[in-house]
Amino acid sequence: MASKLWEKSVTVDTGVERYTVGRDREMDLYLAPYDVLGSMAHIIMLESVGLLDKTELRPLLDELKNIYATAVNGNFTIEEGVEDVHSQVELMLTRKLGDTGKKIHSGRSRNDQVLVDLKLFTRSEIEEVANAVKQLFNTLISQSERHKDAIMPGYTHLQVAMPSSFGLWFGAYAESLADDLTVLQAAYRVANRNPLGSAAGYGSSFPLDREMTTRLLGFESMNYNVVYAQMGRGKTERVAANALAGIAATISRLAFDACLYNSQNFGFIKLPDEYTTGSSIMPHKKNPDVFELTRAKCNRLQSLPAEITMITGNLPSGYFRDMQIIKETFLPAFGELKSILAMTNDMLSRIEVNQNIADDPRYKYMYSVEEVNRLVREGVPFRDAYKKVGLEIESGSFEPVKELRHTHEGSIGNLCNDRVAALFNAAYDSFRFADTHRAINKLLEY
């Protein structure tokens, strides 16, 4: 069994080890590529301040690049008895390079190592989520334009209210994603700050160049105060989880609509047959299982910020082991949301829309407001027009004029999809993902 980085003369009890390590080795596989990148930036900085010899830097970088390739290809493993990803990387270096491999830990702690790993991981995953959101946004806008003239009932209190359209319905969720992306961009900025050099939360007596590691890793800035850098553990995850939960809330609501509108009693849309399932005893059934599971998965993601808050909410400043178990739900959450976004995009790309809903006499009363407004335009006071139409409805004599005159911004006749797209694209462009890619590519070529 490999010894721990912190182990001295006393060997830890095996039961205690199992309890404290928990699923950490499994979770750390998510972080392996980022741990290597952090180590590369750290040793380049150590050499620049004289804590590593030039002749030692090159072999270390070359071997770290080999480990990075192994991690990116999914072949990185944490051996039995090795506590975490940091220990495994250092073990692999010492096996290859002897005592030189032990020098990479100067001026840092596993505390700031895991912090930088989590920041780099979160930053990268947010980019992938943003790209998946963009794909779904484009599908929604496209469907909104394609079906902008297809009228459907709008509802309040689940009662037929006023005319809406599929252009409005698809476009509403597109604009919701534009706001969700703005929140995601805020989470990205929180993640895009460098904690490396904060060590155990109180800095180091070594003359570390934190500006250099910030630049090498493509961070926008550093977490300047070393105590706050450690306080960011859990906070960064909570902020990111809130952003993921916002996107999940949008998709969950869309999924509920889709399940409702796909049902026989509504018949507004038809989901692709390949995305529905059948019943074991009812031959006619086509169940919207995919959207039902999407709704449940999204609702589970919405609980993540609360879980992180409960773990971190009563902790003082400094590091505590409580933080470790946040990984178990936080790290897989990105993959969960990406799969949800991809599946939702696939379904919405192939959804069929009922173009003749307004012909159904059940929906004739949704035109009552249109009739009131028509009378008002002819000079009838609004309250009198409202009462007249109301009495016609009560007596059963109301017959709608199915002519819609909605011209203001954001209404049936003026969707403003171009403006919504401009909002979304401005939010997306503000991430400046290319800046990060340039820095990481340069680091890997060092």
Catalytically active residues are 157, 279
DSSP 138-207: HHHHHHHHHTTT-EEEEEETTEEEEEEEHHHHHHHHHHHHHHHHHHHHHHHHHHTEE-TT-TTTT--SS-
**Rounded Cα–Cα distance for residues 351 and 269 (Å):** 7
Give ∠ CA 182-235-19 in degrees, rounded to 5.
135
Mapped onto helix, strand or coil, the DSSP state of residue 393 is: helix
- Residues constituting the chain: 446
Q: Tokens for 15, please give them.
A: 């039961």
End-to-end CA distance of the chain: 35
Contact call for residues 433 and 129 (beta carbons, < 8 A) = no
204-209 LR contacts (CB < 8 Å, sep 24+):
204/107, 204/108, 206/49, 206/51, 206/106, 206/107, 207/49, 208/45, 208/49, 208/107, 209/45, 209/48, 209/49
Measured over the CA atoms of residue 265, residue 271, residue 273 and residue 279, the dihedral's sign is negative
How do beta strands 221-222 and 352-353 pair? unpaired
Residue of 176, 221, 237 whose CA lies nearest to 420: 176
Tokens 């849309």 sit at which residue?
A: 269
Q: Phi/psi at 381 (nearest 5 deg)?
A: -55, 145
The two tokens of residue 433 are 């993902």
CA distance 95 to 362: 76
Give me the helices (H) in 73-109, please.
Answer: 85-97
Alpha-carbon distance values, 125 to 134, 235, 430 (Å)? 14, 17, 16
The closest alpha carbon to 122, from 308, 263, 396, belongs to 308
